[in-house]
Amino acid sequence: MKAVSVQEMRELEQRFCQETGTASMQLMENAGQAVAREAIALAAHSGTRKFAVLAGKGNNGGDACVAARLLLEQGAEVQLFLAAEPEKYQGDAGLAWQRLPMTLKNQCQRDFKSTMVQRDCILIDGLLGTGFTGPTLRQPYCAWITEARASGCIVLAIDVPSGLNADDGSTGLCLEADLTLTFAVPKRGLLLGEGPRCCGRLLVADIGIPAAYLPDSNDALQTFAAADALALLKREDFTIHKNRRGHVGVFGGSMPYPHAPALSAEAALRTGAGLVTLALPQSCEMFCTLPKALIVRRLADGGSGCCNAFALPQLTEMCRNFQALVCGPGLGQAEESLVVLQALLATGLPLVLDADGLNLLASHPECLPAQPAALILTPHPGEMARLQNGFGLEATGNRLEQALALARRTGCVVVLKGCRSVVAAPDGQAHLNLSGCPALATAGSGDVLAGICGAFVAQGRDAYQSAALAVFLHGLTGEILRPTGSRGIIADDLPDALPKAWSALGANL
């Protein structure tokens, strides 16, 4: 899915309406319906039916008025705040105002203070949307945004958070959102600059504009959302069996980190791998309960508690049964573990390399084959810096450019983890992932992602598609868990939530 500029969005809306005869007001109605739907869902998690709707005089305010009307029709308690006199609402926004019931018109207010709303209501931001170009806000928007920030309410932004430049992500004073619902396609500013920080969770709503109307540009900023994931996933054959779902081998663990590979292995199972083997050093004690469906193999280690040359005969025999490998979680950085990494690379099997596997590769870049098989690297920013140093790359440009540079240098698919994780391929394909939330910023979360990647590769998908699907599903799992509280979630919670993420994505998959 492409991200567009404000001008591109205007042009595609105009072209769609002209060529299909669709009234632009219908798009506003569709947008308002999407806002009302997400507002109700957000309120359900918060245990409230109260909404405060801030409406500017442009189309963003028109979307807000439609949402306010629909929320009222569903029995919600709605407060409407207009940032301009009603007669200044023109065009579609004026029509949206006219369609409001008289009860809501009579009760709407022309001023906004944080003390006028209760803290437990959902605040819907329809003040500016794509209309802000900066650098400073005019009144009353500056005052209203300041008051809204002080309210402590959960904020749902319509299309773009007010005060954020929708083209480049620059901002001064901005009404930071907990959820931003953007329409048809993401706007570039939601992904660049301060955009990811300001927009919170980002959802893309279908308002009835087909993908054929999107601008065809080779340099377009690409994103990956639910629609993209669904396009790659097919309903499973009713006669499928475990061997057709792939066998993943997970190699890792050491004395200090015995449980990290267990997270990867369980995640691979929950993602749909038919078989998963967890291979860890014989002297590495486990203190956690493993899923009964896991196959556990103990690797000879000579009493060292880490993977080393003693395991090579077993490793060679085991890998004949695998369709994909995961290496690195809990592996440790002992030099004696390098031979295990080299042996796994030599198998030619698809390999997901994470954590200490990445650190070993960064220290020994010469062990990477000249033409690696399907190989996925999943660094966080610290590991990325070590890989850049190891492969002689400068940390210049934005995150997407850095991931692409490493992918081209290594011949591997690169997943640069973080807010709006980047997935990049050696052939120049790259995108920003739209799922995820702060709940995923916890120890072991990356181990879970590595296991999800391994499962998708084992099922026969190419490395780029596998990484894209894995990163999206991992992020969606965090979103599923977030209503329970971001600060209380640990990596152990993620594998159990994967079936719920699958269900949220598409119950028939």
Which residue intervals of the chain bear CATH 3.40.1190.20? Answer: 241-417+431-504
Mean pLDDT, residues 29-52: 94
Other C-beta atoms closer than 10 Å to the C-beta of 250 total 35
Sheet with 295-299: list strands edge to edge. 2-3, 221-224, 430-433, 422-424, 413-416, 375-377, 351-353, 324-327, 247-251, 275-281, 295-299
Q: Any idea what the Cα angle at residue 492 is, between residues 486 and 497, rounded to 5°?
A: 70
Closest residue by Cα to residue 329 from 276, 386, 380, 254: 254
Model pLDDT, residue 156: 98
Cα torsion 304, 308, 311, 315: sign? positive
**Is the model's pLDDT at 81 over the cut of 80?**
yes
Mean pLDDT for the stretch of residues 368-381: 92
Which residue, chain included where needed, has tokens 């409407």? Answer: 80
* 463, 350 contact by CB (below 8 A): yes
pLDDT value at 266 more than 80: yes
**Nearest-angstrom CA–CA distance, 469 and 477:** 12
Asked whether the predicted pLDDT for residue 40 surpasses 70, the reply is: yes
pLDDT score of 486: 64
Please determine, looking at this structure, whether the domain spanning 2-224 carries the CATH number 3.40.190.10: no
How far apart are the C-alpha atoms of 35 and 182, rounded to whole Å?
Answer: 9
3-state secondary structure of 223: strand
Burial letters for 108-129: b for 16+ Cβ neighbours within 10 Å, e otherwise? beeebebeebeeebbbbbbbbb
Q: So what's the pLDDT on residue 6?
A: 95
Could you give the angle at the alpha carbon of 6 between the alpha carbons of 109 and 197, nearest 5°? 70
Checking if the pLDDT of 34 tops 80, the result is yes
Residues 6+ apart with CB under 8 A from 251: 261, 279, 280, 307, 315, 325, 326, 327, 331, 340, 344
Please list the alpha-helical segments (H only) found in 59-140. Answer: 59-73, 91-98, 102-107
Higher-confidence position of 349 and 215: 349
Cis previous bond, 101, omega within 30: no
Mean pLDDT of 430-446: 95
Is pTM beyond 0.85? Reply is: yes
Share of the chain above pLDDT 70, in %: 97
pLDDT in tens, 276-287: 999 999 998 887
Q: Please, what is the average pLDDT of the chain?
A: 94
CATH number of 241-417+431-504: 3.40.1190.20
Amino acid letter, residue 259: H
Residue 420 to residue 432: CA distance in whole angstroms: 6
User: Where do you find CATH 3.40.50.10260 in the chain?
Assistant: 2-224
Q: Which of 41-45, 256-260, 319-323 has the highest mean pLDDT?
A: 319-323
| 214-223, 226-235, 330-339, range with the lowest pLDDT | 214-223
CA 409/CA 412 separation, integer angstroms: 8
